[in-house]
Amino acid sequence: MLYLLTKIFKILIKALVFLLIFSVLITVIFRWVAVPITPLMVIRCIEQKSEGKNMVLKHDWVSMDEISPKLQLAVVCSEDQNYLKHYGFDWGAIEKAMKANESGKKLRGGSTISQQTAKNVFLWPGRSYVRKGLEAYFTLLIETFWSKERIMEIYLNSIEMGKGVYGAEAAAQFWFNKSAKNLSKDDCAAIASILPNPLKYSANPASPYISKRKVWIKQQMSYWGNQLDYDKYEDEVDSESNPADSKPTKKVTKKKK
C-alpha cells in the first residue's frame, strides 16, 4: 500500500513539474507568436452547436500597428485605469469589488486587463477557486514574460466582443464595417462599452445604457489626453528600479539684490 501511494505521489510530482514547465514555455512562445485560438472560442462553438445554432467564429489576428490607439485607450478607461501601474493585480479595485459583492449589490468584477488576458488565453470561464488560482498564476507569468504592449496586443486580439466575435479586427468589421486601424473615438468607446457582457450588449446600434457608457468612456479618454503612453510607464518603472539613475531636480533660488 505504501509503495503504491509513493508511486502515485511521484507520478503527481512529475505531472506537476511538466505542467509548470509547459506553462512557462507556452507563455514565452506567445511572447512572439500570435495566439491562434482560445479555450473560450472552442467552448462557445460547442455551446452554439449543442443549442442547434450555426457555429460562428469571427477572429482575425492583427498586429498592434493595425489597431487604433484610441481602442487601446478606450479599454483601459473602461476596464482597468491602473493598467500601466500595476503588476497584474489592482488590489484597490479587488477590495471594492469584494465589498460591493458582500453588501448584496450587483456582482462586480475587479479583474485587470492582465487577468482577463490570462483567463481568455489559457483558461475557461468560471468562478471556482481552482480557476481563479490558475488565473493568478498565469497573470504573474504574462506580467513577467510579456511587455504591457504585448499584453494589450493579445488582449485586443483574443477577447470576446460580440456573439462569435473575437478581437479588435473582427469586432471592427462586424460592428462598423471598417478595419480596427480606422476606428473612430466613438467607435472605440462603443466597443469598450460592451466588454462587461458582449453577448448581451450591442455596440452598434447602442442601447441607452451603452450610449451613457460611451459618453463616460470618451470623457475619461479626454482626461487621459486621448493617448496611452507606454513609454512613460517604462520610464517610471526604470526610475523606480534604478533610483540612482534618476536625475534630481535642481532647486532654483533667487539672488538677493
For 30-45, write each residue's pLDDT tens digit.
999 999 999 999 999 9
Tell whether the model's pLDDT for residue 97 goes beyond 70: no
Q: Where are the beta strands (DSSP E) in the chain?
A: 58-59, 160-162, 165-166
Tell whether the model's pLDDT for residue 218 goes beyond 90: yes
Higher-pLDDT residue of 243, 218 = 218
pTM for the structure as a whole: 0.85
Higher-pLDDT residue of 103, 112 = 112
CA distance 54 to 61: 22
Task: Say what the pLDDT of residue 96 is.
Answer: 73
As a whole number, mean pLDDT of residues 120-127 equals 91
Task: Say what the pLDDT of residue 255 is.
Answer: 42
**Count of CB atoms within 10 A of residue 213's CB?**
21
The DSSP secondary-structure symbol of 58 reads E
CB 134 within 8 A of CB 122: yes
Tell whether the model's pLDDT for residue 122 goes beyond 90: yes
Tell how strand 160-162 and strand 58-59 pair up: unpaired
Laid out side by side, the sheet with 165-166 consists of 58-59, 165-166, 160-162
Q: What is the 3-state secondary structure (H, E, C) of 162-212?
A: ECCEECHHHHHHHHHCCCHHHCCHHHHHHHHHCCCCCCCCCCCCCCHHHHH
Q: Which CATH superfamily is domain 10-44+54-229 in?
A: Biosynthetic peptidoglycan transglycosylase-like (1.10.3810.10)
Tell whether the model's pLDDT for residue 249 goes beyond 50: no
CB 210 within 8 A of CB 78: no
Task: Say what the pLDDT of residue 105 is.
Answer: 57
Task: Say what the pLDDT of residue 238 is.
Answer: 56
Task: Say what the pLDDT of residue 25 is.
Answer: 97
Task: Say what the pLDDT of residue 8 is.
Answer: 86
Task: Say what the pLDDT of residue 257 is.
Answer: 39
